[in-house]
Structure 1
Amino acid sequence: MSKIRITKQFTFETGHALYGYDGKCKNVHGHSYKLSVTVIGEPIADKNNVKYGMVIDFGDLKHIVKEEVVDIFDHATVFNQNTPHVELAAELKNRGHHVILVDYQPTSENMVIDFAAKISSRLPENIKLHSLRLQETETSYAEWYLSDNQ
């Protein structure tokens, strides 16, 4: 049976700041992120299976990505927990804002690594995360590929 890749795309709004950075991104700002999630596997060959012919139901993939990434990061502000931004994070939380503290600099590169781990851990055993593409702006994105990380 042939291996097939399928991709589902997601969008979410997230703010962040890069502590110690020497450019404008040291300031709190936000992006309209576009996340493309590509998985690889063999289509289900069992004709009695309701998902016959599918690698994974797009709805099932959507459920995983929404729970692990979109519902958490959408309209949140992300800060590195190991920086003075924790004081700003605490103030924002006290004012009712959705703040996420991570143990990394919240660049697109690091976020896509984080997302890959979260999504991979939820996929069925016979399906692998092939790649992620996190688009931060119209012209800038970070990509993660399984083949580069084995």
Structure 2
Amino acid sequence: MSNHIRITKQFSFETGHALYGYDGKCKNVHGHSYKLSVTVIGTPISDPNNVKFGMVIDFGDLKKIVKEEIVDVFDHATVFNQNTPHVELAKELKDRGHNVLLVDYQPTSEMMVIDFAKKIKKRLPNHINLHSLKLQETDTSYAEWFAYDNI
């Protein structure tokens, strides 16, 4: 019998965005203090000669992946959907030295978490699976991605 264990690491970053075509306040450029929880699943390494003996994954290794793929990219950036006229605004901000990210989706929490899942999954070691992501946009609002919902 294998002991599947879930390991979670939490991250936070500040990101601005605007939702083009939205019918509420979020059509305006604004920002959030996002909190991202990344949960992976695997079995603890059973080889006593391995320096990572007893770990599913070293928290430091997970941190490196998520920092490089998500946090360092999105932190203090403003995200726009490149398939909208916001591309003009993005160009203007870029020209003024702002950190702008153009993505091929509407930058809602739901779509961001799908993007994050793709990016993290391709960097995980073969014996580790992404179990879930939780992206908290405000104290009371979050989006979740679960592997078993996406089989």
Q: Provide the TM-score with structure 2 as the length reference.
A: 0.99
**Aligned mates of 1:108, 1:40 — CA distance in 2:** 23
Report SS of the residue matched to 1:126. Answer: coil
Consecutive aligned runs of 4 or more in structure 1 exceeding 3 Å deviation: none
Residue in 2 that maps onto 1:122: 123
**Aligned mates of 1:82, 1:3 — CA distance in 2:** 41
The code of the aligned residue for 2:132 comes to: S
Residue in 1 that maps onto 2:53: 52
Cα deviation per residue 1:123-145 (whole Å; 9 max; x = unaligned)? Answer: 00010000000000000000000
Residue in 2 that maps onto 1:97: 98
**Aligned mates of 1:25, 1:52 — CA distance in 2:** 47
Cα deviation per residue 1:112-132 (whole Å; 9 max; x = unaligned)? Answer: 000000000000001000000
Residue in 1 that maps onto 2:132: 131
**Aligned mates of 1:93, 1:134 — CA distance in 2:** 26
**Aligned mates of 2:101, 2:129 — CA distance in 1:** 27
- Map 1:14-25 to 2 at 5 A: 14-25=15-26
Alpha-carbon shift at residue 50 of structure 1 (Å): 0.3
Q: CA RMSD in A?
A: 0.3
Identity of aligned residues (%): 81
Residue in 2 that maps onto 1:5: 6
Unaligned runs of 5+ in 2: none
**Aligned mates of 2:98, 2:59 — CA distance in 1:** 31
**Aligned mates of 2:83, 2:113 — CA distance in 1:** 19
Unaligned runs of 5+ in 1: none
- Map 1:73-84 to 2 at 5 A: 73-84=74-85
